[in-house]
Amino acid sequence: MRRPEADWPALLDAAAQDCVRVLGTVPDDAFARYAHGLQWSCRTTLDHVVEGLLGYTALLTSGAEHRWTSLLGTLRPGLPLEHCLEGVATTATLLSRAVATATPDARGWHPWGTSDAAGFAAMGVTELTMHTHDMTRALGVAWQPAPEHCAPVVERLFPDAPEHADPAELLLWCTGREGLPGVARRESWQWRGEV
């Protein structure tokens, strides 16, 4: 039986707050390290998160039909970590508010499926959660994704995921970060954004 629809704006806000909280404990100079499993630094990963959140907002609000929008946003070079994390929080808030005010028939293009507000919110939570994981692993900070953030994302974006008791572990598997008992780590992956 399908669960009731998630409160996507609240999930986005909570995922962003968790990201900002945990990364705010790390010294600025540590962000030059490569993010775990990625080919770029933790600082570049913050740029990627901001670009993704702003891009999802633009796709949803513009009703883009066939391509990325012309809007490109990133963090200004040389900013201290505190300001970078403010950028993460700001772009997450923009997406959260766009999701909260979207009409039920609002749609936007994405290469992994034309999506609705819930889909773009789930993409945003995925960006925030998985890249917080990548950075905290690289920075040696103890942190685990919140299961209550992960369960609705798995249900919305990864409907073919195997059964597993821990939604956080399952989302890490879905996005190629970890293996599951008896299930190999994914070498490639993508979510299913379409409605």
Lowest mean pLDDT among 52-61, 96-105, 156-165, 179-188: 179-188
What is the pLDDT at residue 5? 81
- C-beta of residue 80 within 8 angstroms of C-beta of residue 89: no
Q: How many CB atoms lie within 10 A of CB 8?
A: 25
Does 162 fall in a domain?
no
Q: What one-character-per-residue DSSP string does the chain give?
A: -PPPPP-HHHHHHHHHHHHHHHHTTS-GGGGGSBPTTSSSBHHHHHHHHHHHHHHHHHHHHHT--SS--S----PPTT--HHHHHHHHHHHHHHHHHHHHH--TT--B--TT--B-HHHHHHHHHHHHHHHHHHHHHHHT------HHHHHHHHHHH-TTPPP-S-HHHHHHHHTTS--BTTBPPPSS-------
Would the pLDDT of 135 be above 70?
yes
CATH number assigned to the domain comprising residue 83 = 1.20.120.450
Residue 158 lies inside a defined structural domain of this protein:
no
In a domain, 119, yes or no: yes
pLDDT at 136 exceeding the cut of 70: yes
Structure tokens at 34: 């490569």
pLDDT of residue 71: 78
- Is there a contact between 84 and 73 (Cβ–Cβ < 8 Å)? no
User: Is pLDDT above 50 for 45?
Assistant: yes
The answer to whether position 123 is within a domain reads: yes
Q: Which domain does 82 fall in, by range?
A: 12-145
pLDDT, residue 1, reads: 39
Helix axes 117-139, 42-62, angle to 10 degrees: 180
Contact 40, 48 (CB under 8 A): yes
**Cα separation values, 76 from 2, 17, 24, 31, 50, Å:** 42, 21, 18, 15, 11
On whether residue 42 sits in a domain, the answer given is: yes
pTM of the full structure: 0.94
Q: How large is the average pLDDT for residues 82-102?
A: 97
Whether residue 6 lies inside any domain: the answer is no
pLDDT of 118 above 70 = yes
pLDDT exceeding 90 applies to what percent of the chain? 84
With cut-offs at 50, 70 and 90, classify the pLDDT of residue 67: confident
Q: Measuring CA to CA, which residue among 2, 1, 12, 171 is closest to residue 102? A: 12
Domain count, the chain: 1
120 belongs to a structural domain? yes
In this prediction, residue 147 has a pLDDT band, given cuts at 50, 70 and 90, of very high
Q: What is the mean pLDDT of residues 50-70?
A: 91
Q: Could you tell me the pLDDT band of residue 3, with boundaries at 50, 70 and 90? A: low
Q: What is the C-alpha to C-alpha distance for residues 174 and 195, in angstroms, rounded to an integer?
A: 19
Q: CB of 60 within 8 A of CB of 102?
A: yes
40: phi then psi, degrees, rounded to nearest 5? -145, 165
Instruction: Answer yes or no: is 171 within a domain.
Output: no
Instruction: Show the tokens assigned to 114.
Output: 């034309």
Average confidence score pLDDT of the chain: 93
